[in-house]
Amino acid sequence: MDRKQKTQLIQLVLFTVTIITTTFAGAEWTIGKYLYFGMTWDDFLFGFQFSIPFLLILTVHEFGHYFTARYHKINVTLPFYIPIWFGFIGMASIGTMGAFIRIKENILSRIKYFDVGVSGPIAGFVVAVIMLVYGFTHLPETEYIYEIHPEYEIFGEGFEEKMTGLDTIILKKDLNPDRMAYETLPDTIYTGRVGSVYFGDNILMNLGRKYLAPDDRYVPSSKELMHYPMLLSAYLAFFFTALNLLPIGQLDGGHVLFGLFGAKNHAIISRVLFSGFLFYAGLGWVTTADLINTSMESIGSFLINIGAYLFIVYWCAFSVFKEKRDRLLYATVLLTVQFFVSSIFEVEGYSGWLLFSLIIGRFIGIDHPPVVDNSPLTTGRKILGWVALIIFVLSFSPQPLVAEGF
C-alpha cells in the first residue's frame, strides 16, 4: 500500500467514524438519551435524521473548496473529517469538529485565494438553506414534542408561555399526564431549578419561524430546537458557516476580505474586527458587581478572574503584536474598557468566543499570506464576495450555545 492509498484509507476511516459519532450525537440531542442511559437501537437509528443532513452540508462545503482548488490546478487532498464524541462520559457534543482539506502548495494568486475561500461556505450555505426550508415546512404535529417532554402536555397549547418563570418541571412518578388540566398544576408537579443548555438564534432561524412554519403546528423555539434534527443540522451548518466567514486572518472570510480589499486594507480591517470580536467576548467577565462583596474570598476570586483574562487576551494578541509588552498593554486596555462598559451599561458578551479568539490569534493568525499575483477581482467575484459577507451576517449567532441555571 503506497502513501496515497494509506491517506485515502485514513480519510475513509475518519469519515466512517464521524458518521457513527454524529449519529450518536443526533440521538442524544433529539431524544435526550445517552448511550449508557436508555438509548435503544431505534433511538440510534433516529440519530441518522441529524447526521445525514449535517454531514451532507459539511461535505458539500468541503468539496466546494476541493473542486475549486482542482479547477485552479492546486495540489489538494480530499477532506479529512474530525470525529469527536463525549456521550460516553455524559457530555453533549455534535459528534464532529468539522472537516478540512489540505492544500499542499502555496497559493500565489489573490483571485485563487478568493475562489477557494468563498466556494466552500457558499456551497454549504445553499444546502443548509434547503434543509432549513424543509425543516420548517415539514414540522411534525405537536404530539411529537409531548413524546419527548410529556410534562409539557399539562400546560397544553402555548405551553412555553405558561411555563415562563419555571426553571424546570418534574412530573410525579405516578402522574398520568394524558388529560391533566393546567389548573391542577400545583398539585401535580414539582418545580425546581436545574441547568439547561440551548442554541441561540440567528437571523435565518427567526425568518424561518416567521415566514416558513405552518400556523397550526408548534414551532420550536431556540430552547426546543435540538429536538428537530433537520433544523438542528441547518442551524449548526449556519454556525460553522459564520465561523468560517469571519472576515479575519486566514479563515474563509479572511480570504474573501483579502480578495475584496487587498493586503494593506486586510491587515487593518482584520485587526479592527478581531479586536471587536475579542471585546464582545470579554464583556461582563469582571464588573463592579464583583466588588460588592468585600470578603477576602470575593476579592481573591476577582483578582484571579482579572489575571486569567489578561493571560488569555495576551495569548490571543500573539499575532496582533510582536512585542510582549504591547500584548500586555493591549490586554490591559481591553479589560479596562470592558470593565467600565459592562458596569455602566450592564451589558454582557459571550465568553465562549474567547476560545475561538485564542485559536485565531495564537494559531491561525490574523494576517493573510502574501501573493505574487495581486490582480484585482472581477466584478462578478466582487459581488460574490459581498454576498458571502451578507451570508455571514445572516448566519452569525452572537450567543450560539447558552447555558442557564448552572
Per-residue pLDDT of 66-75, as tens digits, reads: 999 999 999 9
Yes or no: say if 75 and 55 are a contact pair by the CB < 8 Å rule.
no
Counting residues of the chain whose pLDDT is more than 90, the rounded percentage is 67
Rounded CA-CA distance 139/227 in Å is 11
Work out the mean pLDDT of the chain and round it to a whole number: 87
Q: What is Dmax (Cα atoms) for the chain?
A: 75
**Residue carrying the nine cell digits 471587536:** 276
Q: What are phi and psi of 371, to 5 degrees?
A: -130, 160
**What 3-state class would DSSP assign to 225?**
helix
Q: Are 324 and 297 spatial neighbours (Cβ–Cβ below 8 Å)? A: no
Are the beta carbons of 264 and 319 closer than 8 angstroms? Answer: no
In the numeric block, the cell 468539496 is attached to 63
Work out the angle between the directed axes of helices 379-395 and 203-211 (0-180°, nearest 10).
Answer: 80
Quick: pLDDT tens for 98-156.
999 999 999 999 999 999 999 999 999 999 999 999 999 999 988 898 888 887 777 77
Tell me what pLDDT residue 90 has. Answer: 60
* 88 pLDDT tier (thresholds 50, 70, 90): low
Please give the residue that has the higher pLDDT: either 168 or 343.
343
Provide the pLDDT for residue 170: 47
CB 369 within 8 A of CB 250: yes
- pTM value surpassing 0.85: yes
With CA atoms as reference, report the closest residue to 174 among 152, 189, 163.
189
Using alpha carbons, select from 57, 75, 55 the residue that is nearest to residue 66.
75
In this predicted model, which residue has the larger pLDDT, 401 or 76? 76
Among 109-123, 215-229, 318-332, 386-400, name the one with the lowest average pLDDT: 215-229
Please give the pLDDT value at position 173. 41
3-state secondary structure (DSSP) of residue 402: strand
Which residues are within 8 A (CB) of 266 and not within 5 positions of it... i.e. 6 or more apart?
A: 254, 257, 258, 367, 368
Which grid cell is 180? 391533566
Which of 177-191, 243-257, 295-309 tops mean pLDDT? Answer: 243-257
**pLDDT for the residue numbered 353:** 94
Mean pLDDT of 323-346: 93
CA–CA dist 229, 24 (Å, integer) = 12
Q: Which residue has the higher pLDDT, 72 or 294?
A: 72
- Does the structure show a pLDDT above 80 at 210? yes
Decide: helix, strand or coil at residue 403: strand
Q: How far apart are CA 110 and CA 266, in angstroms?
A: 12
**Position 370, amino acid:** P
Is the pLDDT at 341 greater than 50? The verdict is yes
Which percentage of the chain shows pLDDT scores above 70?
A: 88
Beta strand spans in 148-267 (E): 168-171, 189-192, 196-199
